[in-house]
A and B are shown apart, each in its own frame.
Chain A
Amino acid sequence: MLQPLELTNLLSWLDTTLRDSMPVFWVLLIEFVLVAVALLAAYAILAIILIYAERKITAFFQARFGPNRVGIYGILQSIADVIKILLKEIIRINNVDRFLFFAAPFFMIVASMLTFGAIPFGKMLHAIDFNIGVLYVTAVSSLGIIGVLLAGWSSNNKYSMIGAMRSGAQFVSYELSAGFALMTIVVLTGTMSFSEMIAKQEFCWNIFNGHISSIIAFVIYLISGHAETNRGPFDLPEAESELTAGYHTEYSGLQFGFFYLAEYLNMFIIASIATTVFLGGWMPIQIPGLDGFNQVMWYIPSYAWFFGKTGVLIFLSLWVRWSFPRLRIDQLLNLEWKYLLPINLVNILIMVILVLAGLTLTDLFPVLAP
């Protein structure tokens, strides 16, 4: 297939020219630094875009204009906000545990950075391809909750404390569901590595491949992922009308910015993992046999497919956020422990039966197998 806009040629050209002109150690060093810079830049830029998109979409949901003063349609609004937040004073608060207070935002941002690094953004745009990608992502993203708990405690403030405890309970519960939903797909594909998962979804996305079971797992993953990012209707830890702002009440300036960034990027990370695991990742839509159609689809570069699919899921998440009222804490925990978790466990069993009995779509129609 012709892939004119793909970055693969550029990247391999860069690699070979570097290798021709200097020893391997320096090549690796330069490449590591380049990858790190690219990831950090992508992190920041994505956050800026997401914040603008969220504010604009939210405004349309609520029949307002949203940001419309800075630049056309307020496009430069988030950049102005970034400059503002960088210039703000970090207020020193008396009677807090200073070490933990300063460490907490870093836990959040490091956890989401580490997860961010393992996401396949496109063909060859994949920083770390672990053999156990799915497990790595669920493991590392669970570090963020420690940041929330420490922030809530070290702020020496009752509202922060209540917010942190709620967040902890919520995160620990919904982490289970998210993990199990991903495990269902691991059963289906027989691999935990993101690249192999994407390769297997060339003609048939996982969400169709495991039909009943996959769709249930997808819905559960979206619900629990949404809950893990602490966004409405699951935004009890922040609940501005009850707890002012929950665990980050006492933070100001860039420290608050870290929490804010991590929240938006976590939304993106959940959506991108759902894309990769259920919706074929960066793989274009292809139909076996229709070579002309497939060629047209491949003209659209893989990163565009990835960001397109992720964007749809993010829009879905915003839609949910502004459509449902906030849950009470008992409703929240009931939903997880009495409904999602039992459904999930049964769902894994169904998936095992589907795989063993050969009832998945790729088994039934071998033409769909890659």
Chain B
Amino acid sequence: MAEQIIFYILAALIAVFSVLAVTSKQIIRSATYLLFVLLGTAGLYLLLGYHYLFAVQIAVYAGGVMVLFIFAILLTNRPGENVKAERKDRRIAAGITSVAGLAFCGHIIYWNVNKAYTLLVPAEQKVQDIGLKLMGTEKYQYLLPFEFISVLLLACIVGAIMIARKR
């Protein structure tokens, strides 16, 4: 009962702030609304009992990515100015793209929700287990993807240095 009430409050918050993040005219306000969406998602993880994911969501998205976003916005020319509306054909194209994306993701989520119910155990994951899963080389262990992500991040850093050095 209490869990459902909290879930509905969080869901409403996430929905409202997602819409606000897209429709707001000021880019810094959009970033703040996006932050609320991310915090709401963290709240959902907490509700599910996935404390590790909850802490990582806050540390990475709210503490890391959003700070970088706000920094980047503050360093651009005039962060407080209202963003102009896009041309009409572009808006239609964006609408079609987002509907297609929604349909695609929705399809995948819809067909996998039943599987998730049977596979996921509603118990707290131990940090040690997560670490072993990420760093192991056996079946259902994910060392290779983990290392690939680090290569991706390395590429990002090299790219950032290249862009910064041009000036």
A100 interface hit (Cβ, 8 Å): yes
Q: How far is the CB of B56 from chain A (nearest CB, A)?
A: 7
Q: How far is the CA of A131 from the CA of B26 in the complex (A)?
A: 40
Which of B61-69, B112-120, B147-155 interfaces with chain A? Answer: B61-69
Q: How far is the CB of A135 from chain B (nearest CB, A)?
A: 4
B71, A136: Cβ atoms closer than 8 Å:
no
Taking A100-B28, A132-B51, A146-B35 as contacts, is the C-beta distance between A168 and B59 under 8 angstroms?
A: no
- A165 (CB) vs chain B CBs: closest residue: B74
B residues 57-114 touching A (CB-CB < 8 Å):
58-59, 62-64, 66-67, 70-71, 74, 79-80
A97, B55: Cβ atoms closer than 8 Å:
no
Q: How far is the CA of A135 from the CA of B71 in the complex (A)?
A: 24
Taking A135-B52, A142-B62, A192-B127 as contacts, is the C-beta distance between A100 and B67 under 8 angstroms?
A: no
A142, B63: Cβ atoms closer than 8 Å:
yes
Q: How far is the CA of A172 from the CA of B62 in the complex (A)?
A: 12
Taking A131-B126, A153-B28, A172-B67 as contacts, is the C-beta distance between A136 and B55 under 8 angstroms?
A: yes
Contact of B29 (CB < 8 Å), options: A97, A136, A156, A164? A97
List residues of chain B with CB within 8 A of the CB of A146.
35, 62, 66-67, 70
Query: Hey, what's the 0/1 contact readout for B120-164 against A, CB within 8 Å counting as 1?
Result: 000010110000000000000000000000000000000000000
Q: How far is the CA of A164 from the CA of B71 in the complex (A)?
A: 10
Contact of A100 (CB < 8 Å), options: B32, B62, B126? B32
B127, A143: Cβ atoms closer than 8 Å:
no
B51, A149: Cβ atoms closer than 8 Å:
no
A149, B58: Cβ atoms closer than 8 Å:
no
Query: Hey, what's the 0/1 contact readout for A71-107 against B, CB within 8 Å counting as 1?
Result: 0000000000000000000000000010110010000
Contact of A150 (CB < 8 Å), options: B32, B64, B127? B32
A139, B70: Cβ atoms closer than 8 Å:
no
List residues of chain B with CB within 8 A of the CB of A168.
67, 70-71
B51, A136: Cβ atoms closer than 8 Å:
yes
Q: How far is the CB of A160 from chain B (nearest CB, A)?
A: 12
- B52 (CB) vs chain A CBs: closest residue: A132
Q: How far is the CB of A159 from chain B (nearest CB, A)?
A: 15
A130 interface hit (Cβ, 8 Å): yes
A residues 132-178 touching B (CB-CB < 8 Å):
132, 135-136, 138-140, 142-143, 145-146, 149-150, 153, 156, 161, 164-165, 168, 172, 175
A-B contact pairs, 28 of them (CB 8 A): A97-B26, A97-B29, A97-B80, A103-B32, A130-B51, A131-B51, A131-B124, A135-B127, A136-B54, A136-B55, A138-B59, A139-B56, A139-B62, A142-B58, A142-B62, A142-B67, A143-B58, A143-B62, A145-B63, A146-B67, A146-B70, A149-B74, A153-B28, A153-B74, A153-B79, A156-B80, A165-B74, A172-B67
